[in-house]
């Protein structure tokens, strides 16, 4: 993983991710120092944690599961299982209704009871049960613009790079600004 100076010196130790919805950025911190950042795309429906809202949840999370480490770039996933397909423009045109989940999945779990974990007075608000991921998306999809169904989308090369440097249990904080 390259830092802001282009040097490759990331280690797993004490990493944490900050996802800034206003800036549409995912920043990687080691200790208190930002070592790199990526353009992302969060939910077109905005911020929220309720089941079926199509929103991106705020708050403290962890990477609960890493999925797809042995898959090729642009591998297609349905239900967190590789389909054997490799995304291409032709495949995208063949299935225009699909919400493409490509290359790697970092499945998030919320840590804040009633906010992004379990339920509240409005119903389920559990990030993990809502299947909120950080994942790859077709490279022709814009970054820096909220367009997802609740997940955090990244360029395929970026999610592969990030995947290699985080582990299950890595803290992820999603903030509004």
Tell me the pLDDT tens digit for each residue of 153-171. 999 999 999 999 999 999 9
Q: What is the pTM of this model?
A: 0.93
For 1-38, write each residue's pLDDT tens digit.
545 544 455 555 689 999 999 999 999 999 999 999 99
**End-to-end Cα, the chain, rounded Å:** 24
**pLDDT tops 50 at residue 81:** yes
d(CA 55, CA 107): 16
Domain ranges of the chain: 15-175
Task: Map tokens 């299950």 to a residue.
Answer: 168
Residue 165's SS3 state is: helix
CATH architecture of the domain covering 15-175: Beta Barrel (2.40)
The pLDDT score that the predictor gives to residue 9 is: 52
The pLDDT score that the predictor gives to residue 1 is: 53
Instruction: Count CB neighbours of 160 within 10 A.
Output: 19
Q: Beta strand pairing status for 133-136 and 152-154?
A: parallel
């Amino acid at each position: 993983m390259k830092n802001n100076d282009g040097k490759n010196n990331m280690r797993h130790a004490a990493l944490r991710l900050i996802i800034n919805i206003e800036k549409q950025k995912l920043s990687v911190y080691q200790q208190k120092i930002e070592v790199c950042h990526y353009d992302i795309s969060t939910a077109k429906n905005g911020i929220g944690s309720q089941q079926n809202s199509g929103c991106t949840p705020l708050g403290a999370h962890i990477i609960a599961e890493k999925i797809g480490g042995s898959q090729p770039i642009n591998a297609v996933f349905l239900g967190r299982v590789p389909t054997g397909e490799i995304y291409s423009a032709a495949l995208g045109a063949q299935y225009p209704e699909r919400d493409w989940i490509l290359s790697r999945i970092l499945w998030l779990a919320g840590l804040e009871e009633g906010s992004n974990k379990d339920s509240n007075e409005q119903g389920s608000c559990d990030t993990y049960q809502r299947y909120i991921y950080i994942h790859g998306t077709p490279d022709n999809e814009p970054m820096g613009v909220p367009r997802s169904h609740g997940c955090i989308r990244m360029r395929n090369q970026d999610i592969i790079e990030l995947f290699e440097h985080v582990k299950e249990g890595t803290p992820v904080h999603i903030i509004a600004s």
